[in-house]
Structure 1
């Protein structure tokens, strides 16, 4: 496989205080890469920088080898990057169906938008049962599925997913992790997954990257006990 996403010496932060320091990262096409680390490690900052919400102060972000510096957020979406932030950011006043339509507003192929929406309903059965319900009437797990489904309607190549299990019951968390594996295997979706549920993330990830204080401290397919104790707190 080849890297769909690559960062080179990526540094970013807020004001004069850097949060990420010289981060080098490769995310292979059609893979799930888990980004792990304690609170404050820089995981959310990494996703915000990759999606263009936060400008890098140094280094490069490459998608298919093309530099994304200066690319606006709307153009990032058109290039196939979807960012689902922490907190299940659905529009609670809109129905499930209306939220999903938001995910495809920028796409010109309306027939494929309808097809993608139908695929989301097939994949996420709870949403199909509640398609006319407003977002504020959904459970936390259903809102997370809706946020993920809305991103998928845009047919992303790269999904940046921030803490999808936050505040959810273990059963719902397991379902979401299984769904991510299914999407990778079925459609070749590339996922960069920030997750505090280390065991759940490692169960589906092809590779893991551990951040500590904004730096990559280890990467690979196996996080040993020493690394878990030192950087993940268990």
Structure 2
């Protein structure tokens, strides 16, 4: 579904990605792992169009995304949940969700999608009229995911959803991401520093180190490779 080939990107003189190749199968969950500064967030920002690549190709179902505007990439079915969620705290939970489907013209379909989000994330339903600023960290992350899903994306890019959350909340979020693939057929590209949690739900895992791919394996194979885990994942 998603193919990245020879991708090079960076900020000013800093090269954050250097010739990255990866492929993401439709309906799968692929985890991108690595230490701080490995290039994980840059990869998602480049795929979603927030950062223009210096070289290489990004293709969704064969269509090159590298020069498309962000709004066109969204319309093709790509949603990006940035690190720390990025919810609009001044808006209510319901308003944030509706914002996720703003470009959809079918209001009834949007209402159904919002209702589905409350079913997927039950803690949000009783808080639908509250400002997002009143939510806990875990609830904000749920809202960020739900807002992205309201637009019914085919490819969901998720950056560090476990950051600063309790283990119980992390487990719940990871289970939802796995369910999205298994039951809804969505495709997820997940960036995580919590490698244990990510590997427990992923189909495949890619490890980045200083902007290059050092491993690309089925998640179970990578989890069993103690040498690689110790060298790059810290466990």
**Which interval holds the TM-score relative to the shorter structure?**
over 0.9
- Scaled by the length of structure 1, the TM-score of the pair is 0.97
Q: Residue 110 of structure 2 aligns with which residue?
A: 113
Q: Residue 7 of structure 1 aligns with which residue?
A: 4
8 Å CA contact retained: 2:47, 2:66: no
Q: Residue 206 of structure 2 aligns with which residue?
A: 209
Q: Residue 233 of structure 1 aligns with which residue?
A: 234
Deviation at 1:183, TM superposition (A): 1.0
1:196 and 1:17 map into 2 onto residues whose CA distance is 22
Q: Residue 20 of structure 2 aligns with which residue?
A: 23
Deviation at 1:16, TM superposition (A): 2.6
Q: Residue 129 of structure 1 aligns with which residue?
A: 126
Q: Residue 191 of structure 1 aligns with which residue?
A: 188
Q: Residue 175 of structure 1 aligns with which residue?
A: 172
Q: What is the number of residues matched between the two proteins?
A: 231
- Scaled by the length of structure 2, the TM-score of the pair is 0.97
Equivalent residue in structure 2 for 1:87, among 78, 84, 88:
84
8 Å CA contact retained: 2:79, 2:155: yes
Q: Cα deviation per residue 1:172-200 (whole Å; 9 max; x = unaligned)?
A: 00000001111111110000000111111
Equivalent residue in structure 1 for 2:162, among 150, 165, 168:
165
- C-alpha RMSD of matched pairs (Å): 0.7
**Residue segments in structure 1 that go unaligned for 5+ positions in a row:** none
Matches within 5 A, 1:58-97: 58-97=55-94
**Residue segments in structure 2 that go unaligned for 5+ positions in a row:** none
